[in-house]
Amino acid sequence: MTKNVADELAGLELPVERGCPFAPPAAYERLREQAPINKVRLTSGGQAWWVSGHEEARAVLADGRFSSDKRKDGFPLFTLDAATLQQLRSQPPLMLGMDGAEHSAARRPVIGEFTVKRLAALRPRIQDIVDHFIDDMLATDRRPVDLVQALSLPVPSLVICELLGVPYTDHDFFQSRTTMMVSRTSMDDRRRAFAELRAYIDDLITRKESEPGDDLFSRQIARQRQEGTLDHAGLVSLAFLLLTAGHETTANMISLGVVGLLSHPEQLTVVKADPGRTPMAVEELLRYFTIADGVTSRLATEDVEIGGVSIKAGEGVIVSMLSANWDPAAFKDPADLDVERGARHHLAFGFGPHQCLGQNLARMELQIVFDTLFRRIPSLRLAVPMEEVPFKADAVIYGVHELPVTW
Ligand code: HEM
């Protein structure tokens, strides 16, 4: 049976394009039904294990015998060519690609910045930012408005800029480079975007080392000085990751959340009737769209047995969080968008030691945006038929390119 499954996905290139914008690719379900862990062949060559069951996905992601280090031989890479791998290997690693003690040492100093308690202090400012961009939307006579440019992108961009101490005046620069890095344009363009952004951040951190401000990066610099461990390259890597991970993902999720609710009016009614339900609705929208599918790949460093399957040291494993989040064993009738289901155990933020560091911030932004947008513009609707909404079917992070709305 496993052999047939491998044949079925021959030439698999991740992320597989979503045929229907509101469902995983059909192949995902067929694979999961056959087995929660299968062997698949990759377009980039070689084979890897494909994990699509919810329980099995959690088991892999929580297991320290799987490495996240993309620079290791045998790591299942689908989109990186040799030159990009070379670029990756020439840079200090990002936290995302570290393992064990090295990973804990990079993550520990910043955890405190992203606790629910710490972030609660940002809530009023985030509310102001959301209100500001909605004021601008309401002030314009122009219709339709592209929600991506008017709200989805500027809100998380401005929030992350203020938190990190990045000048918001540079937002066009870093937004365009980040979008390029997670799109499926040529590898040359993606490499150039990576190099330009890295140089920009290097310069920013250098300036903060001599002129600190009241922001996360300056606090990290002060902390490392105090501990006598100041590591410029490490700070640049951290800054690069936080700036890129901190806006593009949330922006896509804001747009998709609005599309999801507008196209399921009965669910929107539930949310509008009681804002107390918004946090649960946000979890369901995160599960339903699982925008960062395919980013959680691993390499077995030892022989491991998961769900009755024996994975050998040196074999690659791709955890499909989208498939796991649509596993009926974990979520009844997964194709139904049900804002009242308790979906908190979804894997949209990953699981285990690398689970998203910014998840509490993302949740808070999403909750504030949805509550405020539908309260202040209750008649908000799509300005084009759903079939004309340009979904990012082929991007590493799922979303929409544009979202024309009116009211
Ligand atoms: C809806 C929004 C978001 C989604 C869906 C998302 C998704 C993810 C996922 C799936 C991972 C795990 C990757 C892995 O296991 O290999 C991750 C890691 C990470 N995310 Fe997010 N993210 C979001 C927002 C954010 C924000 C707002 C920030 C920063 C402010 C952020 C910072 C990070 C960092 C630093 C990591 C690496 C953690 C580590 O390696 O220990 N993310 N994210």
Decide whether any atom of ligand 1 lies within 6 Å of the 298 Cβ: no
Mean per-residue pLDDT, 224-228: 85
292 lines ligand 1 (CB under 6 A): yes
Q: How confident is the model at residue 89 (pLDDT cuts 50, 70, 90)?
A: confident
- Please state the rounded mean pLDDT for residues 287-310: 94
What average pLDDT does the segment 263-279 reach? Answer: 96
Q: Provide the residue range defining the domain that includes 274.
A: 3-406
Give residue 386's pLDDT.
95
Query: How many CA atoms does the CB half-sphere of 369 hold within 13 Å?
Result: 28
Residue 270: CATH number of its domain: 1.10.630.10
Q: Give the mean model confidence (pLDDT) for residues 368-391.
A: 97
Give pLDDT, residue 272. Answer: 96
* Ligand 1 center–CA 34 separation, angstroms: 30
In this structure, the residue with its CA closest to atom 23 of ligand 1 is: 249
**Averaged pLDDT for residues 307-334:** 96
d(CA 95, CA 245): 12
- Sign of the four-CA dihedral 116, 174, 146, 334: negative
The count of structural domains within the chain is: 1
Tell me the mean pLDDT in the region 203-222.
Answer: 94
Mean pLDDT of 127-133: 98
- HEC string of the chain equals CHHHHHHHCCCECCCCCCCCCCCCCHHHHHHHHHCCEEEEEECCCCEEEEECCHHHHHHHHHCCCEECCCCCCCCCCCCCCHHHHHHHHHCCCCHHHCCHHHHHHHHHHHHHHHCHHHHHCCHHHHHHHHHHHHHHHHHCCCCCEEHHHHHHCHHHHHHHHHHHCCCHHHHHHHHHHHHHHCCCCCHHHHHHHHHHHHHHHHHHHHHHHHCCCCCHHHHHHHHHHHCCCCCHHHHHHHHHHHHHHCCHHHHHHHHHHHHHHHCCHHHHHHHHHCHHHHHHHHHHHHHHHCCCCCCCEEEECCCEEECCEEECCCCEEEECHHHHHCCCCCCCCCCCCCCCCCCCCCCCCCCHHHCCCCHHHHHHHHHHHHHHHHHHCCCCEECCCHHHCCECCCCCCCCECCCEEEC
Residue 300 and residue 210: Cα distance in Å, rounded? 42
- Is the CB of residue 166 below 6 angstroms from any atom belonging to ligand 1? no
Say which residue the tokens 């009737």 belong to.
273
pLDDT for the residue 4:
47
Average pLDDT over residues 168-176: 90
pLDDT value of residue 120: 94
Q: Would you state the pLDDT for residue 178?
A: 87
pLDDT at 2: 41
Single pTM value for the model: 0.94
pLDDT confidence bin for 16, thresholds 50/70/90: confident
Mean pLDDT of 397-404: 95
Q: Give the pLDDT of residue 182.
A: 76
Q: In the predicted model, is pLDDT for residue 234 greater than 70?
A: yes
Residues paired with residue 37 on neighbouring β-strands, in sequence order: 51
pLDDT number for residue 403: 98
User: Which atom belonging to ligand 1 lies closest to the Cα atom of 290?
Assistant: 5
Distance 16 CA to ligand 1 centre (A): 21
> Is the distance from the beta carbon of residue 250 to the nearest atom of ligand 1 less than 6 Å?
yes
Out of 36-40, 75-79, 98-102, 224-228, give the one with best mean pLDDT.
98-102
User: Does the pLDDT at position 384 exceed 50?
Assistant: yes
Contact between 100 and 331 (Cβ < 8 Å): no
296 lines ligand 1 (CB under 6 A): yes
